[in-house]
């Protein structure tokens, strides 16, 4: 049961080891163009944690409308700068890596390119402890963007302790008054809008999620406006210049906020299985991994080698990989996706032979590429290029 992807990897000089990872370039490029369209003129920053393949980061940056990257560790940011991938790197999370901070403070090229994320004076203290140069380090403030009720739970990511304008202004003032720092911007990532599917499955849940998203967008627009006014009173009308927001799931609403100067996206480039559940958009599946059939335990069932590439987040069936090609296969409820083998049942099982390959989609995006060293870039049924993942570059962050 050879698929288009099978024909593509069959043309490689040597059979690739399992799992074999491929990215469909036609789908990737179409997704990139759609993200730019949805951002409606607001620059899109590439979220590297959702790719983890330097060649794909570079490909996205070559698309008009994309500019700069959102990295997930400082070591990664330094690597991207030193390897010429980007000279505009916003680190999306605070760092406590003193060795990397020390390197940043003595590297003029990196200091000019990299902006650290902070939400506590303790983060400034860490930089000062690590620094061996007094030259300024750029920082941005990570502000909580969850939905807040007068009573009831906080709905959103458990990220930053910065919630009230007074708290944000206090930290901004600390940055401005401390030698060796430059206040570059603000981040307000609305994960409860950008990262939660709102279509399919339980209709009642989908309705509730959409209500939360609508309320979040409305409240956050007001909060951003108030926060921007408070910061302008402190730093002047032109600063801080960068205001990052959003993700693949919230590009339209984030970009429409006049306070926001840029949005971030990454998962929408690859269209992982979790992103099948959004009402407002539907990226094309672009990333796949293939593993071979190694057993035929009974009629209607085959077993593949490995396959248990489970996504991060709250444990549930939606974090399991999705059998994709050939169609007509599903995981079993008892075993799910296994560490060394995965049984699959369904109509297609009896048409598969030992040695045939089954293709899966990962539930999330860049996490797939932590399991492989090489990624094969496919157009049609031909591998155009094989490129290293971060792992293939000898990097693990």
Give me the torsion for CA of 30, 33, 34, 38, rounded to 10°. 180
Rounded to 10 deg, the angle between the 121-130 and 98-106 helix axes is 70
Of 73-87, 128-142, 149-163, 353-367, least confident by mean pLDDT is: 149-163
Of 14-23, 80-89, 231-240, least confident by mean pLDDT is: 231-240
Say whether 222 sits in a helix, a strand or coil: helix
% of the chain with per-residue pLDDT over 90? 83
C-alpha to C-alpha distance for 335 and 332, rounded to whole angstroms = 6
For residues 142 and 94, is the Cβ–Cβ distance under 8 A? yes
The pLDDT of residue 393 is above 80: yes
Confidence of residue 203 (pLDDT cuts 50, 70, 90): confident
Of 9-18, 231-240, 360-369, 371-380, least confident by mean pLDDT is: 231-240
More confident of the two residues 213 and 198: 213
C-alpha to C-alpha distance for 204 and 325, rounded to whole angstroms = 31
Give me the torsion for CA of 199, 202, 207, 212, rounded to 10°. -80
For residues 72 and 49, is the Cβ–Cβ distance under 8 A? yes
For residues 317 and 387, is the Cβ–Cβ distance under 8 A? no
| Mean pLDDT, residues 59-86 taken together | 98
Q: So what's the pLDDT on residue 2?
A: 65
Question: pLDDT (tens digit, 9 = 90+) per residue, 263-305?
Answer: 999 999 999 999 998 888 899 999 999 999 999 999 999 999 9
C-alpha to C-alpha distance for 93 and 116, rounded to whole angstroms = 8
**Domain limits, the chain:** 25-269, 287-392
Q: Could you tell me the fold of the domain covering 25-269? A: TIM Barrel (3.20.20)
| Mean pLDDT, residues 159-186 taken together | 95
% of the chain with per-residue pLDDT over 70? 98
Confidence of residue 238 (pLDDT cuts 50, 70, 90): confident
Q: Long-range pairs for 345-349 at CB < 8 Å and ≥24 separation?
A: 345/300, 345/301, 346/300, 347/300, 348/1, 349/296, 349/299, 349/300, 349/301, 349/302
DSSP E strands in 54-211: the ranges are: 66-71, 89-91, 114-118, 137-142, 181-188
**Nearest CA-CA partner of 248 in 113, 42, 52, 47:** 47
Instruction: Supply the mean pLDDT for the chain.
Output: 94
C-alpha to C-alpha distance for 73 and 263, rounded to whole angstroms = 19
Question: pLDDT (tens digit, 9 = 90+) per residue, 249-262?
Answer: 999 999 999 999 99
> How many other β-carbons are positioned within 10 Å of the β-carbon of residue 218?
12
For residues 171 and 123, is the Cβ–Cβ distance under 8 A? no
Question: pLDDT (tens digit, 9 = 90+) per residue, 304-337?
Answer: 999 999 999 989 999 999 999 999 999 999 999 9
For residues 30 and 249, is the Cβ–Cβ distance under 8 A? no
Q: Tell me the longest C-alpha to C-alpha distance in the chain.
A: 72
Selecting from 2.40.37.20, 2.40.128.30, 3.40.1360.10, 3.40.50.720, what CATH number does the domain 287-392 have?
2.40.37.20
The one-character DSSP state at 147 is B
| Assessment of whether the complete model's pTM goes beyond 0.75 | yes
For residues 286 and 266, is the Cβ–Cβ distance under 8 A? no
Residue 151 CB partners (closer than 8 Å, separation 6+) = none
**Nearest CA-CA partner of 212 in 145, 259, 159, 267:** 145
C-alpha to C-alpha distance for 109 and 54, rounded to whole angstroms = 19
For residues 188 and 242, is the Cβ–Cβ distance under 8 A? no
Radius of gyration of the chain (CA): 22
The pLDDT of residue 173 is above 80: yes
Residue 169, H or E segment:
helix 165-177
Say whether 21 sits in a helix, a strand or coil: strand
For residues 323 and 337, is the Cβ–Cβ distance under 8 A? no
Residue 192, H or E segment:
helix 191-194
């Amino acid at each position: 049961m050879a698929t288009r992807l099978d024909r593509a990897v069959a043309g490689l000089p040597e059979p690739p080891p399992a799992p074999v990872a491929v990215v469909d370039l036609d789908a990737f490029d179409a997704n990139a163009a759609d993200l730019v369209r949805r951002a409606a003129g607001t620059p899109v920053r590439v979220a590297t944690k959702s790719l983890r393949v330097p060649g794909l980061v570079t490909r996205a940056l070559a698309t008009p409308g994309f500019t700069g990257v959102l990295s997930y560790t400082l070591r990664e940011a330094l690597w991207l700068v030193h390897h010429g991938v980007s000279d505009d790197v916003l680190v999306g999370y605070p760092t406590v890596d003193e060795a990397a901070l020390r390197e940043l403070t003595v590297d003029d090229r990196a200091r000019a390119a990299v902006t650290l994320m902070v939400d506590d004076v303790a983060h400034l203290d860490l930089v000062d402890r690590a620094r061996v140069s007094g030259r300024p380090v750029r920082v941005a403030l990570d502000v909580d963007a969850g939905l807040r009720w007068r009573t009831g739970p906080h709905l959103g990511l458990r990220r930053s302790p910065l919630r009230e304008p007074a708290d944000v202004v206090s930290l901004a003032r600390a940055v401005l008054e401390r030698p060796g720092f430059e206040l570059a911007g603000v981040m307000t990532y609305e994960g409860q809008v950008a990262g939660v599917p709102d279509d399919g499955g339980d209709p009642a849940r989908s309705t509730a999620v959409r209500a939360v998203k609508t309320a979040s967008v409305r409240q956050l627009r007001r909060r951003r406006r108030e926060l921007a006014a408070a910061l302008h009173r402190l730093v002047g009308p032109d600063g801080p210049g960068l205001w990052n927001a959003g993700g693949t799931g919230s590009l339209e609403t984030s970009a429409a906020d006049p306070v926001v100067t840029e949005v971030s996206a990454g998962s929408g480039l690859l269209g992982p299985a979790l992103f099948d559940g959004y009402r407002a958009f539907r990226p094309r599946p672009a990333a796949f991994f293939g593993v071979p059939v190694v057993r035929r335990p009974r009629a209607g069932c085959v077993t593949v080698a490995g396959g248990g590439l489970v996504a991060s987040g709250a444990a549930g069936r939606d974090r399991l990989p999705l059998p994709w090609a050939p169609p007509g296969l599903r995981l079993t409820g008892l075993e799910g996706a296994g560490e060394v083998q995965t049984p699959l049942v369904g109509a297609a099982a009896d048409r598969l032979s030992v040695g045939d390959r089954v293709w899966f989609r990962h539930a999330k995006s860049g996490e797939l590429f932590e399991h492989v060293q090489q990624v094969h870039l496919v157009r049609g049924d031909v591998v155009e290029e094989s490129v290293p993942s971060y792992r293939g570059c000898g990097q693990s962050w």
